[in-house]
Structure 1
Amino acid sequence: MLTRRQLAAARLVAQGLIAPHATALDAVTAHVAMQGQDLPGVIASTALRTPRPDPVEVLAELDAGRIVRSYPMRGTVFLMPSRDAVWVTQLCSAPSLRAAEARRRQLGLDEGALARAEETALEALADGPRSRPELFGVWEAAGLAPKGGRGYHMLFTLIARSTVCHGPWNGTDQDIALVSSWLPAGSDLAGRFDGERVPAVAELLLRYLSSHGPATIRDFAWWTKLGLAEIRAALPLVAGHLESDGAAEPSYWRAGLLDEVAALGRAVSRPLLLPGFDEFILGYQDRLFAMTRDQHDRLVPGNNGVFKKTVVQGAQVVGIWSRGGRPGRRSLEIEAFRPISAAGERALQRRFEEFPFVGQ
């Protein structure tokens, strides 16, 4: 059985935070989906998983249409490879779409309004991606009144139904693009898996456990909101590619991972600065492998779903950090959970100077 620190170290390595992926696209492809409601944060999370963290590479992949953001599961936006966005969304989005129905009624929206929103979006985006304000303006002109949360809900629904997606970077945000023209043809569930769910679940399960493991199938069920029966049916299709601890509720990880961790030695303990919604923290049902309960309460005050940026050292969260000062005079501000050595502080300052910030 792995100790808490050993588990955290293995997950850091699996996620590419210690031994990085070759490219930004490789990093996102390995993860399949990286939680992305903080767009600058997920751009940084991706860049940090490459040899020379640089947001420019990530933004170039967005502009080229190889990476997009979608709402595949949990009602949350994720950064994804374009070739995986549609089939994963079709596989996992049903629970969040059902959950959104009550909110839709509160907003005075019905299927007729959503149909009109889709029709006007298809027409407005036919010539290429447009910004969110531009799309909302089209909806306003069509009498769909996007203010007061209605526009967000209509956009969420069209993305979760794989009609549109968040596409190229426009300097401050992502434009909205049509799935039919922006994403690869044949990348839906029918095109990739002949419409069969269990092989698709198996593919998603293998990539989650390879990039997040050691983790359990309950971690995967929480991450995707897929049913355990369907996941258990898929597990035998990929178990031969994984290693396991053989526990009553086993954890699984990619073959050779623990040897990689051992070969990296002290590198797994090096100080890191991570964005607030990084998959190292948000990719698991239980986050206490990397911190204590009290520390978790400080990371997410009031358990309000807003995660602060983490300082990681020795494979454990040792504090939270922020970016102080003004453009051109930025500084690292740390709220430490425990004392950090002078050498550790110097290393964190270097991480701050190298951090892949988007904008000033």
Structure 2
Amino acid sequence: MPARPTFDDDQRRARLARRHLLARGTAADRAEQVVDALVAVHATDPATVFLAVAARLAAPGTADTERALYADGTVLRRHGMRKTLFAVPADLAPALYASTTAKAAAAERTRLLKDFAASGRDAAWTAAAEHAVLDALAAAATASPDGLTGSQLSEAVPQLRETIDYGVGTSYQTTQPVGMRLLRLLGMEGAMVRRRPVGGWTSSRHRWVPGPPVPAAPKPAERAAAQAGLAARWLASYGPATEDDLVWWTGWGLREVRTALAACAAAEVELADGSTGFVLPDDLAPEPAPSPWAALLPALDPTAMGWKHRDWYLSPEHRPELVDRSGNLGPTVWWNGRVIGGWAQRPDGEVAFELLTDPGPEARRAVTAEAAALRTVLADTRVTPRFRTPLERRLTA
């Protein structure tokens, strides 16, 4: 049996640099190219989408991402992997729904109906509230083409202002607004979609508009085909990667991941630590080493969050400074495919960074230049990550 191809860490870092549009000469002209290259960009924190794209544009800025999201609709916000909100290419949305979102939304609906029933609101009450929300959005379409905020919907639909008791009798018992739960579910299902926010591009107060007809629940064969397609698209950008990496990224079960890898004929390779990785069958050629490069990437950036096993680009000794208690990576400083520090924006607008290892004078000059460029992109905007890390807090203290 022939030996499996081997991908050392330098090869993986070279692929990361080029395929994630971070190496010199790889920057994109349009936001759609960036999102397509990354497959999906975390959108839980709105700033992540804009800063992740800006870091990979030949002319860094936020205007082109606004165009793609709100004018052209070529990039969409959708719940997907691990029930998380992502910005994805519009052409990926059907496969994302069939492979991942439909199952998560069905589970969310089951939980919602159970929690609402426990507070005396049966399925008929919930259905009536849903119809009232969608009717309000439809009625407002002419006068408010950009949609309605959650607050405006609550004014139009009084049921949304009611509350339920959650976790009664447990240590985490709390009160939840009906609107918070119901709007999230309708957003997951796609019955309503987020549009331009109130305020600037860092705002999370989005307006809502009616979505397209919600597709039928995918049949098992449709789900399997969509998972194979999504796995192939992810491997093209993130391979070589392990089964664990794909299980973590997608939130699928191990059996589903193995079936998807087999369906896209993924080839086994050996990684530097001796573990088994996977690439697409026509993607075994070595990647030339790029020229030296630096980058300042935002909290939750797809490159930092793209793999479960990260030792090949993130030193374990640096994690306590750069990762929060839930495992979210904060703003990171990169040099040649490795995380070497973190950055933060101070109240006066300055972009400050701290290097956790000495990368040498060339790297320090390059990082300083990237910080200055990011300061220009941010202009008068102030960005505080939703998930804060020890280093980011220290830099802004």
TM over 0.5: yes
Residue type of the alignment partner of 1:300: V
Which of 39, 52, 77 lines up with 1:45 in the alignment? 52
Partner of 2:276: 249
Does residue 31 (structure 1) correspond to residue 55 (structure 2)? The answer is no
In 1, distance between residues paired with 2:48 and 2:211? 24
Alpha-carbon spacing, 1:230–1:142, altered in 2? closer, same or farther (3 Å): closer
Whichever structure has more helix as a proportion of its residues is 1
Alpha-carbon shift at residue 122 of structure 1 (Å): 1.0
**Are 1:320 and 2:342 matched, yes or no?**
yes
Q: Which residue type is aligned with residue 211 of structure 1?
A: S
Aligned counterpart in structure 2 of residue 151 of structure 1, from 167, 171, 179: 179
> Where does the alignment leave 5 or more consecutive residues of structure 1 unmatched?
182-186
Look up the match of 1:161.
Answer: 189
> After superposition, what is the alpha-carbon deviation per residue over 1:217-264, rounded to whole angstroms, capped at 9, x for unaligned?
43222211223333433334433xx665257733215845854x41x5
When residues 10 and 180 of structure 1 are mapped into structure 2, their CA distance, relative to the original with a 3 A threshold, is: same
| Residues 295/60 of structure 1: CA separation in 2 closer, same or farther (3 Å cut) | same
Deviation at 1:164, TM superposition (A): 1.6
Equivalent position amino acid for 1:349 in 2? T
Whether 2:378 is the aligned partner of 1:357: answer yes
CA contact (8 A) 1:30 1:207 kept: no
Match of 2:291 among 266, 289, 294: 266
Counterpart amino acid of 2:53? T
* Deviation (angstroms), 1:4: 3.3
Among 204, 212, 220, the alignment partner of 1:180 is 212
Map 1:123-142 to 2 at 5 A.
123-126=135-138, 127=141, 128=145, 129-140=147-158
Q: Distance in 1 between matches of 2:379 and 2:68?
A: 14
1:148-297 superposed matches below 5 A: 148-172=176-200, 173=203, 174-180=206-212, 196-239=222-265, 244-245=268-269, 249-252=276-279, 255=282, 259=286, 261-262=287-288, 264-267=289-292, 270-297=293-320
Is the 1:213–1:252 Cα contact (8 Å) retained in structure 2? yes
Q: State the SS of the aligned residue for 1:250.
A: strand
1:167 deviates by 2.4
Kindly indicate whether the alpha-carbon contact (under 8 Å) linking 1:10 and 1:214 is maintained by their aligned counterparts in 2: no
**Normalized against structure 1, the TM-score is what?**
0.82
In structure 1, the residue corresponding to 2:228 is in which secondary structure? helix
Matched, 1:9 2:14: yes
**TM-score normalised over the length of structure 2:** 0.75
Tell me the matched-pair count: 344
Q: Which amino acid aligns with 2:12?
A: L
- Report the identity percentage: 22
Q: 1:353 to 1:139 in 2, by over 3 A?
A: farther
Shift of 1:145: 4.5
In the alignment, the residues of structure 2 paired with residue 87 and residue 138 of structure 1 have an alpha-carbon distance, to the nearest angstrom, of 34
- Report how far residue 70 of structure 1 moved: 1.5
Q: Is the 8 A contact 1:40 1:358 kept in 2?
A: no
CA offset at residue 67 of structure 1? 1.4
Q: 1:194–1:54: structure 2 CA closer, same or farther, 3 Å change rule? A: farther
Give 1:320 deviation, angstroms. 1.0
Q: Let me know the Cα RMSD of the aligned residues.
A: 3.3
Q: Which moved more, 1:276-285 or 1:242-251?
A: 242-251
Return the offset for 1:30.
3.6
Structure 2: distance between partners of 1:294 and 1:114: 49
CA distance in 2, matches of 1:207, 1:344: 32
Write the letter of the residue equivalent to 1:115. Answer: A
Structure label with greater radius of gyration: 2
In structure 2, runs of 5+ residues without a counterpart are: 1-5, 165-174, 382-397
Measured at CA, do residues 111 and 209 of structure 1 come closer, stay the same or move farther in structure 2, by a change above 3 Å? farther
| Contact 1:288–1:296, Cα closer than 8 Å, also in 2 | no
